[in-house]
C-alpha cells in the first residue's frame, strides 16, 4: 500500500491505475454505448411502428439494415453496457472500498483491462462502417448464416464483430481475475468472507461464473472465424461440420452470462435496500449459499435455448427441469430482499425507488421465464415477441434499473456531490411508465404468434391486427428515451453545481462511507479494522440506528448478523 | 394475454395451450401476491417519526422459514408445471406416429419447398412429387414431416398448429401434426436467416381429404402407375 498518488493529467485521468478512476472510465464508456444502443432501439421501434417511413435522425431502414440494427442493439446492451457498468464500473469502484483496501490486487492489469475494453468498443463501432455494413446475423451469430459471407452479405462486418467480442472477453477475463484475487487477498483485517457486503459476494460469484463459462465460447468464436477466413468447416455440414455445435458453445456461455449480469445487480439491491430500510439483510448467509447454488446451476441450463433447435427431444425435459429449478435460488434471494423490508423504517430515496422498481419489474421477467422454460410452451413462444418482452423485463431491470439505483446511491461517494431528488423522481417515474408501455404490449404480440427479427410486420396478414400494439410499444420506447433527459440534466448539474456530499449521506454501515466523498487517492488513511458484519442497522440497545463495520465493539453491544457463534445472536433486551 | 392466441387447429395444440394456461394462472397468482406483499410492506413500514426499525437478521431456521417455505412452494409448483409440460412435450415431439401423409419440408433462403412421399409414404422413391408454394395437407390425417434446410438455419412456424421447429442444415428432423379445420393459415420462418428473413413466408392449406387426394393425383408423376 505504498504507491503515491500519480501526478500529471494523463497518469491521473487517462492511463490511471486508480480503481476509482478506472471505474468512472468504465461508467462513462458504458453510458455512451448505452446512448448508441438506445438510439438503435429507437430506430428499430420506429421502423416496426411505421415500416418503410424514414426514422427521424436515421433515414429509411433497409431489410438488411434492420438486421444490423437488431444485432448491434443486442450486442451493445449486453456486452458494452451491462458488463462495463455492472462489473467494470460498480465492481471496480466498490470492491476495494467495501473490503477496506487501497486498490485492486493488480492495478496495472486493471488499467489494461479498461483500455482493451475501450479498444473493443472502437472496433465494434468501426465494424458498422466497413464495406457491406455491420454484422446482420444476430447477436447469437448462429452459423451457417454467420459462417459464410455469401449467406449474409458483408465479410468484415462479422469478422470485426467477432474480433470486438473477443477483445471484450479478454478485458473482462482480466478484470474478473483481478476481482477474485483482490477479494481473496486484500480484505482488511477482520473482514472475513461472511462479513463481506453481499455486493462483493455477488461480484466474485459472477466473475467466477464468467471465467468458467467463457472459454468454450472463445473456442467457438475462433472456429467460426476460421470457417469464415481459412475455409474450415466446423459448422458447415457440406464440409462435415455441425451448426448445432456452435449453439451449444454459445449458450454454454450465453446463459451463465445472464447471471453474470444479474448477480451484481442483486448485490447493488442488497446494499441500497438495507441502508434505506434501516434493516439487517434478511438471511445473509442463506442468500450467499443461494447465490453459489445459482452459479453452479447456471452451467446446466443452456440447452433451454435449443428445445426446438434440433437437439435430441429426449434431452429437452432434463434441461427444462434444471431451468425451472434455477428459479428457486433466485426466488430465495428476491423473497429475502422483500422480507428485509418487513419491520423496516423505509426511506424513499431515489436509489431506493429504483431498487424497488427493479424488484417489481424483474418479478414479471422471472415469472414469464417459466413459460419459456417449459419445453412444451416454448414450442409456441420461442422466437416470438413473447420472448422479446420476457427478456426485456428480465434484463432492463438488471442492466438499467439496478445500476440507476446504484448510481443514485453511490454518486455522492464517486463524485463528492449530491444529485437532485426531484429530477431523480422524474427520471424514475418516466422510465417506469414508458418501460411498461413499451414491453407489456409485446407479450400480446407474442401470443398472436408474432415472430422476432422481421423488419415489416405489415407484410404478414396475420400480424396486421396487432399493428396498433407495435405503435403503442414504439411510443413507449420514445418516451423511455426522453425520460432519461432528467438524468442527464441531473448528472451534469451535479458535477457543475451540485451540493457537496458528506462522507456518509445515507448513514450506511459499509466501509466506503467511512472515508471522505470522493475517497482520497489511496482510500483509507490507515488500514481499517473490521469488527462486524455489513448490515448492523437498528441493532437493539444502541442509540444510532446503524453501526459502521469498523466500529469497535464496546462492552456488550449486541451481535452482528455475520458472527459465527449462534449464541451471540440471542436477542438482547432493549434498555 | 392468452386470449390473443390464434384458434388452435391441431390435435396436439390443446395440450400445449393447457400448459400455457396452467403456467399463466400459477405464475400470475404468484406475481400478484408478490407485488401485493411488496407494496404492503412499503406502505406499512414507511419511515415514521419515532418508529425504529426492527432488528431481524434472520439467522435461525424459524425466521428463515418465512422465505424458505415460499421457496419450497415455488419448487412444488415448478415440478407441477414440469410434469404437465413433459407430457405435452412427449406427445408433440417424442412419440411421433407413422404418417398418413409424408412430406419433406425444406427451408432455403428465402422460401419453403415441399416434397411429398406419394402413396408408398417413403421419401426418395419414384412416386415422390413436388408440392406448390403452399403446404397442402388433408384435414383429419396424420402428417409426418421431415424438416431440412438447404443453406442456413430456418424455423418452421405455424402458430395455428402450435408448431415451431428449427430446420438445421445437415439434419433431417422428424415431426408430425394433424389439422382439424380446413382453411389457409400462416406459415413463416421464425429464425433469422439473412437479409430477407422478414419476408420469408408461405402458407398452410388444410383441404378436405377428397380434395387433397385429387390434388395429389394431379401432381403425382405419371410413371407411378407402373406395376
pLDDT digits (tens, 9 = 90+) for A441-461: 999 999 999 999 999 999 999
Whether residue A1 has pLDDT greater than 70: no
pLDDT at A324: 79
pLDDT tens per residue, range A466-477: 999 999 999 999
Which cell numbers hold the place of A164? 470486438
Q: With a cut of 90, say whether residue A272 has pLDDT above it.
A: yes
pLDDT tops 70 at residue A294: yes
Between vectors from CA A391 to CA A421 and to CA A405, what angle results, nearest 5°? 20
Amino acid A10: pLDDT: 85
Please check the confidence at residue B49 and state whether its pLDDT lies above 60: yes
pLDDT-derived band at A5 (thresholds 50, 70, 90) equals low
Residue A153: per-residue pLDDT: 77
**pLDDT at B227 exceeding the cut of 50:** no
Contact A139, A166 (CB under 8 A): no
pLDDT at A209 over 80: yes
The residue written with cell numbers 455522492 in the block is A412
| Interface residue B155 vs chain A (CB under 8 A) | yes
Q: What is the pLDDT of residues A124-143, one digit of tens each?
A: 999 999 998 999 999 999 99
Q: Under an 8 A CB cutoff, do A314 and B197 touch?
A: no
Per-residue pLDDT at A2: 46
The torsion angles phi and psi of A255, rounded to 5 degrees, stand at -75, -45
CATH H-level, domain A18-569: superfamily: Cytochrome c oxidase-like, subunit I domain (1.20.210.10)
pTM of the full structure: 0.94
Determine the residue among A270, A313, A376 to mutate to test chain B binding: the one whose Cβ has the most chain B Cβ atoms within 10 Å: A376
Mean pLDDT of A282-307: 95
Nearest Cα to Cα of residue A140 among B163, B191, B201: B191
Q: Which of A153, A327, A449 sits opposite B195 (nearest CB)?
A: A153
> All 3 cell numbers of residue A246?
456452435
Is a pLDDT exceeding 70 seen at residue A562?
A: no
pLDDT given at position A6: 58
Residue range B101-225 in CATH 3.30.420.40: no
Q: What is the mean pLDDT of residues B90-116?
A: 96
Partners of residue A346 in chain B, C-beta under 8 Å:
41-42, 45-47
Cα angle: A534, vertex A538, A541; to 5 degrees = 115
Give yes or no for residue A575 having a pLDDT over 80. Answer: no
Q: How far is residue A160 from each of residues A155, A221, B115, measured CA to CA in Å?
A: 9, 12, 40
Contact A376 B92 (CB under 8 A): yes
Q: How far is A542 from chain B (nearest CA, A)?
A: 11
Q: What is the pLDDT of residue B88?
A: 95
pLDDT at A19 over 60: yes
pLDDT digits (tens, 9 = 90+) for B199-222: 999 999 999 999 999 999 999 886
β-pair type (B135-138, B201-207): parallel
Helical segments of A326-420, H only? 327-341, 350-373, 375-381, 385-396, 402-415
* Distance, C-alpha B67 to centroid of its chain: 35
Cβ contact B27–A137 (<8 Å)? no
Residue A152 reports pLDDT greater than 50:
yes
Q: Is A338 on the interface with B (CB under 8 A)?
A: yes
Structural domain spans, chain B: 2-94, 101-225
The whole-angstrom separation of Cα A365 and Cα A351 is 21
- Residue B69, chain A, CB below 8 Å: the answer is no
The pLDDT score that the predictor gives to residue A567 is 41
CATH of domain B2-94: 1.10.287
- Among chain A residues, the shortest Cα distance to B185 is held by A462
Query: Under an 8 A CB cutoff, do B192 and A453 touch?
Result: yes
By percentage, how much of chain A surpasses pLDDT 70?
95
Mutate: best of A74, A362, A451, A457, partner B, most B CBs <10 A = A451
Q: In the predicted model, what is the mean pLDDT of residues A482-494?
A: 98
Buried b or exposed e, range A17-29, using 16+ CB within 10 angstroms:
bbbbbbbbbbbeb
Per-residue pLDDT at B223? 57
Please count the CA atoms within 13 angstroms of the CA of B35 that sit on its side-chain side: 15
Residue, of A557 and A484, whose pLDDT is higher: A484
Q: Which of B198, B199, B201 to mutate to test the interface with A (most CBs of A within 10 A)?
A: B198
* pLDDT bracket for residue A36 (50, 70, 90): very high
Pick the residue from chain B with its C-alpha nearest to A144.
B152
Whole-number mean pLDDT of chain A? 93
CB contact under 8 A, A346 and B2: no
> Hey, where are the domains in chain A?
18-569
Model confidence band, residue A169 (pLDDT cutoffs 50, 70, 90): very high
Q: Which residues of B touch A279 (CB under 8 A)?
A: 53-54, 56
Say what the pLDDT of residue B222 is.
64
Residue B135 banded pLDDT, cuts 50, 70, 90: very high
Residue A574 has pLDDT above 90, yes or no: no
Compare A426 and A8 and report the one with higher pLDDT: A426
From chain B residues 205-224, the ones with a CB under 8 A of any chain A CB are none
* CB proximity list for A130: less than 8 A, separation 6 or greater: A154, A156, A157, A160
Is A55's pLDDT higher than 80? yes
Whether the pLDDT of residue A557 is over 50: the answer is: no
Under a CB-based contact definition with an 8 Å cutoff, are residues A117 and A26 in contact?
A: yes
ipTM of the complex: 0.95
Q: Chain A within 8 Å of B1 (Cβ-Cβ)? A: yes
Contacts 24+ apart (CB under 8 A), B113-118: B116/B216, B116/B219, B118/B216, B118/B220, B118/B224
Q: Among A402, A406, A568, A425, which residue's Cα sits nearest to residue A487?
A: A425
Whether A337 contacts B70, CB under 8 Å: no
Percent of chain A with pLDDT over 90: 88
Instruction: Kindly state the average pLDDT of the residues A86-92.
Output: 98
Q: What is the mean pLDDT of residues A508-529?
A: 96
Query: Percent of chain B having pLDDT more than 70?
Result: 97
Amino acid at each position: 500500500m505504498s504507491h503515491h498518488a500519480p501526478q500529471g493529467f494523463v497518469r491521473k485521468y487517462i492511463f490511471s491505475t486508480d480503481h476509482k478512476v478506472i471505474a468512472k472510465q468504465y461508467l462513462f464508456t458504458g453510458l455512451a454505448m448505452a446512448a448508441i444502443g438506445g438510439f438503435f432501439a429507437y430506430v428499430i421501434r420506429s421502423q416496426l411502428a411505421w415500416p418503410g417511413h424514414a426514422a427521424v435522425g436515421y433515414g429509411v431502414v433497409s431489410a438488411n439494415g434492420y438486421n444490423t440494427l437488431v444485432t448491434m442493439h443486442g450486442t451493445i446492451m449486453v456486452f458494452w453496457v451491462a458488463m462495463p457498468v455492472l462489473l467494470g464500473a460498480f465492481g471496480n469502484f466498490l470492491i476495494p472500498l467495501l473490503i477496506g483496501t487501497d486498490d485492486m490486487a493488480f492495478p496495472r492489469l486493471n488499467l489494461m483491462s479498461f483500455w482493451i475494453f475501450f479498444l473493443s468498443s472502437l472496433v465494434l463501432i468501426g465494424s458498422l462502417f466497413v464495406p457491406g455494413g455491420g454484422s446482420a446475423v444476430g447477436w447469437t451469430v448462429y452459423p451457417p448464416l454467420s459462417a459464410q459471407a455469401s449467406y449474409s452479405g458483408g465479410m468484415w462486418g462479422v469478422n470485426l464483430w467477432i474480433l470486438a467480442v473477443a477483445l471484450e472477453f479478454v478485458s473482462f477475463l482480466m478484470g474478473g481475475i483481478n476481482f477474485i484475487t483482490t477479494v481473496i487477498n486484500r480484505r482488511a483485517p477482520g473482514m472475513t468472507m461472511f462479513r463481506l457486503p453481499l455486493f462483493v459476494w455477488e461480484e466474485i460469484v459472477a466473475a467466477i461464473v464468467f471465467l468458467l463459462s467463457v472459454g468454450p465460447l472463445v473456442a467457438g468464436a475462433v472456429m467460426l472465424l476460421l470457417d469464415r477466413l481459412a475455409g474450415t468447416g466446423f459448422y458447415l455440414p457440406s464440409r462435415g461440420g455441425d451448426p448445432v455445435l456452435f449453439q451449444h458453445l454459445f449458450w454454454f456461455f450465453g446463459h451463465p452470462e445472464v447471471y453474470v449480469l444479474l448477480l451484481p445487480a442483486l448485490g447493488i439491491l442488497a446494499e441500497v435496500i438495507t441502508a434505506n430500510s434501516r434493516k439487517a439483510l434478511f438471511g445473509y448467509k442463506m442468500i450467499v449459499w443461494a447465490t453459489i447454488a445459482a452459479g453452479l446451476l447456471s452451467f446446466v441450463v443452456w440447452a433451454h435455448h435449443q428445445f426446438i433447435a434440433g437437439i435430441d427431444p429426449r434431452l429437452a425435459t432434463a434441461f427444462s427441469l434444471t431451468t425451472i429449478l434455477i428459479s428457486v435460488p433466485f426466488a430465495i434471494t428476491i423473497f429475502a430482499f422483500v422480507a428485509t423490508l418487513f419491520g423496516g423504517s423505509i426511506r424513499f430515496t431515489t436509489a431506493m425507488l429504483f431498487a424497488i422498481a427493479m424488484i417489481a419489474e424483474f418479478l414479471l421477467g422471472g415469472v414469464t421465464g417459466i413459460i419459456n422454460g417449459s419445453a412444451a410452451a416454448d414450442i409456441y413462444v420461442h422466437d416470438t415477441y413473447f420472448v422479446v418482452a420476457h427478456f426485456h423485463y428480465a434484463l432492463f431491470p438488471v442492466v438499467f434499473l439496478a445500476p440507476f439505483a446504484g448510481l443514485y446511491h453511490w454518486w455522492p461517494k464517486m463524485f463528492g456531490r449530491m444529485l437532485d431528488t426531484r429530477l431523480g423522481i422524474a427520471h424514475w417515474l418516466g422510465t417506469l411508465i414508458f418501460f411498461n408501455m413499451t414491453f407489456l404490449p409485446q407479450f400480446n404480440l407474442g401470443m398472436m404468434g408474432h415472430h422476432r427479427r422481421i423488419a415489416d410486420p405489415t407484410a404478414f396478414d396475420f400480424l396486421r391486427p396487432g399493428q396498433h400494439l407495435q405503435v403503442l410499444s414504439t411510443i413507449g420506447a420514445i418516451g423511455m428515451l426522453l425520460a432519461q433527459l432528467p438524468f442527464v440534466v441531473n448528472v451534469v448539474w451535479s458535477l457543475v453545481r451540485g451540493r457537496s456530499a458528506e462522507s456518509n449521506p445515507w448513514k450506511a454501515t459499509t466501509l466506503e462511507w467511512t472515508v471522505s466523498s470522493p475517497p482520497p487517492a489511496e482510500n483509507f488513511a490507515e488500514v481499517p479494522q473490521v469488527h462486524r458484519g455489513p448490515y448492523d442497522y437498528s441493532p437493539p440497545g444502541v442509540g444510532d440506528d446503524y453501526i459502521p463495520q469498523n466500529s469497535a465493539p464496546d462492552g456488550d453491544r449486541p451481535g452482528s448478523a455475520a458472527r459465527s457463534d449462534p449464541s451471540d445472536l440471542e436477542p438482547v433486551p432493549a434498555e | 394475454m392468452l386470449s390473443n392466441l390464434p384458434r388452435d387447429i391441431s390435435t396436439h395444440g390443446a395440450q400445449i395451450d393447457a400448459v400455457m394456461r396452467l403456467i399463466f394462472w400459477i405464475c400470475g397468482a404468484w406475481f400478484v401476491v408478490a407485488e401485493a406483499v411488496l407494496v404492503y410492506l412499503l406502505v406499512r413500514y414507511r419511515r415514521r417519526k419515532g418508529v425504529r426499525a426492527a432488528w431481524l437478521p434472520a439467522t435461525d431456521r424459524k425466521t428463515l422459514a418465512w422465505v424458505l417455505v415460499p421457496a419450497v412452494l415455488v419448487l412444488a409448483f415448478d415440478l407441477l408445471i414440469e410434469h404437465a409440460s413433459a407430457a405435452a412435450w412427449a406427445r408433440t415431439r417424442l412419440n411421433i406416429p407413422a404418417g398418413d401423409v409424408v412430406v419433406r419440408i425444406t427451408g432455403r433462403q428465402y422460401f419453403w419447398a415441399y416434397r411429398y412421399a406419394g402413396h408408398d409414404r417413403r421419401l426418395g422413391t419414384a412416386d415422390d412429387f413436388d408440392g406448390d408454394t403452399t403446404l397442402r395437407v388433408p384435414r383429419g390425417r396424420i402428417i409426418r414431416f421431415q424438416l431440412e434446410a438447404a443453406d442456413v438455419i430456418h424455423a418452421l412456424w405455424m402458430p395455428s398448429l402450435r408448431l415451431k421447429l428449427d430446420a438445421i442444415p445437415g439434419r433431417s428432423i422428424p415431426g408430425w401434426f394433424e389439422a382439424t379445420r380446413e382453411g389457409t393459415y400462416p406459415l413463416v420462418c421464425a429464425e433469422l436467416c439473412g437479409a430477407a428473413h422478414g419476408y420469408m413466408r408461405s402458407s398452410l392449406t388444410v383441404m378436405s381429404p377428397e380434395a387433397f387426394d385429387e390434388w395429389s393425383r394431379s401432381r403425382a408423376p405419371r410413371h407411378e402407375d407402373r406395376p
